[in-house]
Amino acid sequence: MFLWLGIKFNNLTRISLYLLYLLILVGGIVRCTGSGMGCPDWPKCFGKYIPPTSEKQLPSNYKKKFLDSRLEKNERLISLFSYLGFKKLSIKIANDPNIRIEEEFNVYKTWTEYLNRLLGALVGLALLVTFISSIFRKPFKNGVVLLSFFALLFVMIEGWVGAIVVSTNLLPGLITFHVLLALLIICVVIKSYFISTICQFKIGNYPKYIYYLLILSMFLFISQIILGTQVREAIDYMTNYLKSIDRNNFIENLGFEFLIHRSYSLLVLMVHILILYLIYKQPIKINFLKNFIFSLLLLILLEILTGVGMAYFSIPKFLQPIHLFLAFLIFGLQFYLFLIIRSNKYKTV
């Protein structure tokens, strides 16, 4: 930790951002392998700080023990959500039969989830050190300190939400919120890095409509991510509740959300092609911006290809974390590009 304090704030922020993206990738692996309930309790795993490697290391009644503990925790959650006015969510948690399923020990799923939690703890530590570093950074900037604090705070909230996700056995709706909160954390860390950078990017004047098109592209992509989480929750529903449906038939049994999600990707692609075209038309020298947009466009094409691969090959598990990781990477680059353009002047057209 003291070694990290000697690292420049910008480098600390970059390290935190890299760890966040690694956590997103690992989280996707946890999700696609069904390891989310590999540890039936939180923050410990099967009541231990270091999880077991064999079922023999657990008491004979471990299934009932951890189920009772989870149900007791859910009772407190139901009371909290009811008090906050989330009556429907409380009823959903109380009546969800999947929450009452006893979880069997699986060493691979347990250690996959455990490693995910260790990485999450490392991310929290990195952001804590980054926040401390922001206080002693020179020149002192209130904005940098506040953003570093909120990044740390949001990661702690994200950990709490993750605990709820485990406690409610991956309850639909909470997972979408989990993803959106992760996007917010990414934005806060990128913003903190950007405003603390000494050398800001100078791209010269540009038409105002490029700025608004970029905002539109971000809005479209966030909507696309939300649609994607809805599709994923529909797949989870078929996996957990409609066991008569074979995995090869999942796609044809998906609802309207999947059709929108599939077609919507083409709109996202076209908007980015338009942005790239308009930037290439500008007489000013903004080669960095052109290369940035071109890279972003390639990532979007790759994201679409992974989506096509999942649609036509019965949702292979190895593509799911890649698809999720690319979505977060694209949005992070969009937001960074937005900050660059917003920091420069535009010309009226």
Average pLDDT for 73-91 = 83
Q: Which pLDDT score is estimated for 3?
A: 46
For 39-53, 136-150, 284-298, which range has the lowest pLDDT when averaged over its residues?
A: 284-298
More confident call, 192 vs 43: 192
24/263 Cα distance (integer angstroms):
25
Q: Which residues contact 23 (CB under 8 A, 6 or more apart)?
A: 116, 119, 120, 123
Average pLDDT for 305-319 = 85
- pLDDT band per the 50, 70, 90 thresholds, residue 286: low
Please write the tens of the pLDDT for every residue from 227-250: 888 888 777 777 666 666 666 667
For 50-54, 67-71, 306-310, which range has the lowest pLDDT when averaged over its residues?
A: 67-71
Q: Which pLDDT score is estimated for 348?
A: 45
Average pLDDT for 194-222 = 79
Q: Which residues contact 125 (CB under 8 A, 6 or more apart)?
A: 1
- pLDDT band per the 50, 70, 90 thresholds, residue 132: very high
Q: Which pLDDT score is estimated for 123?
A: 95
**Hey, which of 26-30, 145-149, 250-254 has the most confident mean pLDDT?**
145-149
pTM, rounded to two decimals? 0.87
Q: Which pLDDT score is estimated for 334?
A: 92
Please write the tens of the pLDDT for every residue from 155-201: 999 888 877 776 776 666 777 788 889 999 999 999 999 888 755 56
The mean pLDDT value of the chain amounts to 83
Angle at alpha carbon of residue 148, lines to 337 and 122, rounded to 5°: 100
- pLDDT band per the 50, 70, 90 thresholds, residue 130: very high
